[in-house]
Amino acid sequence: MKNRVYLVTGATSGIGRALALRAAQAGDTVFAGVRELSRAPSSENIRPIQLDVTNPEDVRRASETILQQCGNIDVLVNNAGFGVYGAFEELSEEQIRAQMETNYFGCLAMARAVLPSMRERRSGTIINVSSILGRITIPTGSAYTASKYAIEAFTESLRQEVKPFGIQVFAVEPGLIRTSFKQNMVKSHAVQKNDSPYAFLNRMIQKEYSGFSTSQERAADRIYKLSQKKRPARRYRVGLDASFYYTLSRILPDSLLDNLVALGVRREFKKTS
């Protein structure tokens, strides 16, 4: 396959950084979208570009710059994102709106910026980095999972609209990937308060989960390979845990899934009461 032009958002760390490096190593031209240019990955073929996906001016300037420099964008990877976690009642309106601004509206803004040129060329790929939490939910994840469920719906609908123009749109659904995600997580204001009625849930957020995790390089390699598919499917899981939980959610009835989650929650709840 000939070398292509990638735009990866959120390329300072984690999956985005590893993906930018992976594509650059393969000889593709990679525009690494970052909020702070000094934190961009550095390698031959990587061109750092100022890009906060919630800033309309950045979004416009970034897409125009790439089109001026290269004439086209072959692959947009909507990766920028973070997690807001906490019991819904203890999350602020601002936190929830900020979550949607980046994870969901940021993804829409980027798609809007690249679609006209992709449509004219009758080619292009948009990859939306969702999550396994875009298919299944967890307590404390109401804000994050809603943003990822929204991405899933957006992906499905947009995919159908632009397929006639030769544009491919699909979602990737990572499980637990070893990145700075947890460090960068925004937690509810009450997460440290022992007297919170939701202390049992807050304890769950603080725990380290590392069980079946995947390295960021491995996740990036998988996403890179998926980006080369001529006819990609709607969505792909990334990581064994993602496939495992997704399969469980498909084969078990809702009532049983509810009970399984409730068991864990009840155990934590009993410790407080």
The answer to whether 35 contacts ligand NAP (rule: CB under 6 A) is yes
- Per the DSSP assignment, residues forming a β-bridge with 85 are 187
Q: Counting contacts by CB under 6 A, is residue 106 touching ligand NAP?
A: yes
Q: What is the distance in angstroms between the CA of the first residue and the CA of the last residue of the chain?
A: 60
Phi, psi of 203 (to 5 degrees): -65, -35
Q: Does 125 bind ligand NAP (CB under 6 A)?
A: no
**Where in 210-239 is the site for ligand NAP (CB under 6 A)?**
none
> Which of residues 20 and 199 has its CB atom nearest to ligand NAP in the complex?
20
Alpha helices in 90-141 (DSSP H): 93-100, 106-121
Our answer to whether residue 85 is catalytic in this structure is no
46 is a contact residue toward ligand NAP (CB under 6 A): no
Per CB under 6 A, the list member of 13, 50, 137, 272 interacting with ligand NAP is 13
Question: What are the structure tokens assigned to 120, written together?
Answer: 């004219």
Distances (CA, A) of 243 to 133, 169, 235: 12, 20, 12
Q: How far apart are CA 155 and CA 236, in angstroms?
A: 12
241 binds ligand NAP (CB under 6 A): no
| Of 143 and 199, CB closest to ligand NAP | 143
User: Between 13 and 272, whose beta carbon lies closer to ligand NAP?
Assistant: 13
Phi first, then psi: what are they for 235, rounded to 5°?
-160, 155
Residue selected from 21, 46, 53, 190 as contacting ligand NAP according to rule CB under 6 A: 53
Which one of 6, 144, 224, 236 is the catalytic residue? 144
131 near ligand NAP, judged by CB under 6 A: yes
Shorter beta-carbon distance to ligand NAP: residue 11 or 199 = 11
Please state, in angstroms and rounded to a whole number, the distance separating the CA atoms of residues 159 and 157: 5
The per-residue DSSP string of 210-263 comes to: -TT-EEHHHHHHHHHHHHT-SS--SEEEESHHHHHHHHHHHHS-HHHHHHHHHH
Q: Which stretch binds ligand NAP (CB under 6 A): 86-94, 161-169, 174-182, 262-270?
A: 174-182
CB of 183 to ligand NAP, least distance (A): 7
Q: By CB under 6 A, is residue 14 in contact with ligand NAP?
A: yes
Q: Which of 147, 148, 146 is nearest to 134 (CA)?
A: 148
Cα 16 from Cα 109, distance rounded (Å): 18
> Quick one: DSSP state of residue 79?
-
Site residues for ligand NAP per CB under 6 A: 9-16, 35-36, 51-54, 79-82, 102, 106, 129, 131, 174, 176-177, 179-181, 184
Catalytic (active-site) positions: 144
